[in-house]
């Protein structure tokens, strides 16, 4: 039960209709007797900077989960960033420390990679296409590079975003082959949709599914429904798929530790989650 002692964790993004994290965290907190709650907060981009400053003036807030469209803009609003957040160029977790300063970290990429590894696939030497180079796409690309893939292709509707991410990756991973400029999924071991396409009815597909090889793993970050149009079509082609919530389940243990609530496992989270679509 929420009371005057309950610790607040904000879930910041816009729109909030697709948010799934509260359906995982809050049942987990209840089961473990942790006096905390995750609260969805819909904040438009133009209001975000001012809102974030006011939000962390609350005496009972510990931190925030950050999702689209705020993962990149959050960087400039914090006091310190972890190396992971710096390389990714985005942030999806904020912790208010005891001195009041705000620390940003990024767990999306680690969650996505852990999901792939959990499925039994080896990433070392793989050819990977990441479509969408905003906050989540940047994080996934950074974690894939750290996992030892052999080549990463980056595509974004804003070509400058893809080139900027390529530059950050090259600075850290000198031997990694990196390409930009095409979302043609042919010839890759892993293809990732890291765009918002699929969140709204009638959205175009982020890539040409007819060009995907059936041996390719197709991963998704959109969580509005379990099987997005992209995943349904990929599955029909015989591809292995990774649903958007897989990334979420696999990164939440890192969040739990980041916020100071102990440790857990993705299996335990799955056992208590109350996901609705």
Tens of pLDDT, residues 86-133: 888 889 999 999 999 999 999 999 999 999 998 999 999 999 999 999
Ranges in the chain annotated CATH 3.40.50.720: 109-244
User: What CATH number should be reported for the domain whose range is 109-244?
Assistant: 3.40.50.720
- By the 10 Å C-beta count (0-12 exposed, 13-18 middle, 19+ buried), 254 is classed as middle
CATH class of 7-107+246-272: alpha beta
Cα(205)–Cα(218) distance, rounded to whole angstroms?
Answer: 13
Whether the link from the prior residue into 77 is cis, omega within 30° of 0, is no
Q: Has residue 45 got a pLDDT over 90?
A: yes
Q: Has residue 275 got a pLDDT over 90?
A: no
Q: Vertex 68, ends 56 and 168: CA angle to 5°?
A: 95
Residue 245 and residue 226 in contact, taking contact as beta carbons nearer than 8 Å:
yes
Q: For 17-43, what is each residue's pLDDT tens digit?
A: 989 999 999 999 999 999 999 999 999
Cα(57)–Cα(166) distance, rounded to whole angstroms?
Answer: 37
DSSP run (H or E) holding 130: strand 127-131
Q: Has residue 248 got a pLDDT over 90?
A: no
Q: What pLDDT does 135 receive?
A: 85
**DSSP strands (E only) in 88-126:** 93-96, 102-105
Ranges in the chain annotated CATH 3.40.50.10860: 7-107+246-272
């Amino acid at each position: 039960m929420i009371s005057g002692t309950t610790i607040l964790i904000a879930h910041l993004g816009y729109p909030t209709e697709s948010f799934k994290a509260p359906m995982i965290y809050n049942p987990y907190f209840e089961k473990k007797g942790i006096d905390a709650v995750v609260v969805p907060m819909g904040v438009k981009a133009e209001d975000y900077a001012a809102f974030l400053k006011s939000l962390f003036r609350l005496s009972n807030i510990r931190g925030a989960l950050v999702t689209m469209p705020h993962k990149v803009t959050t960087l400039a609003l914090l006091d310190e960033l972890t190396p992971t957040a710096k390389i990714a160029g985005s942030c999806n977790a904020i912790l208010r420390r005891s001195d009041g300063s705000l620390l940003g970290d990024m767990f999306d990429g680690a969650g996505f990679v852990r999901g792939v590894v959990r499925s039994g696939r080896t990433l070392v030497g793989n050819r990977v296409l990441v479509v969408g180079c905003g906050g989540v796409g940047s994080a996934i690309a950074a974690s894939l590079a750290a996992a030892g893939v052999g080549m990463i292709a980056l595509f974004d509707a804003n070509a400058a975003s893809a080139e900027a991410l390529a530059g950050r990756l090259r600075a850290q991973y000198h031997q990694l082959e990196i390409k930009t400029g095409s979302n043609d999924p042919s010839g890759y071991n892993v293809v990732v949709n890291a765009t918002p396409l699929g969140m709204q009815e009638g959205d175009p597909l982020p890539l040409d599914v007819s060009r995907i090889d059936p041996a390719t793993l197709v991963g998704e970050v959109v969580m509005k429904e379990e099987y997005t149009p992209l995943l349904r079509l990929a599955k029909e082609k015989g591809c292995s798929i990774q649903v958007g919530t897989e990334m979420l389940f696999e990164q939440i243990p890192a969040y739990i530790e980041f916020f100071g609530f102990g440790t857990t496992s993705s299996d335990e989270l799955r056992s208590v989650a109350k996901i609705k679509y």
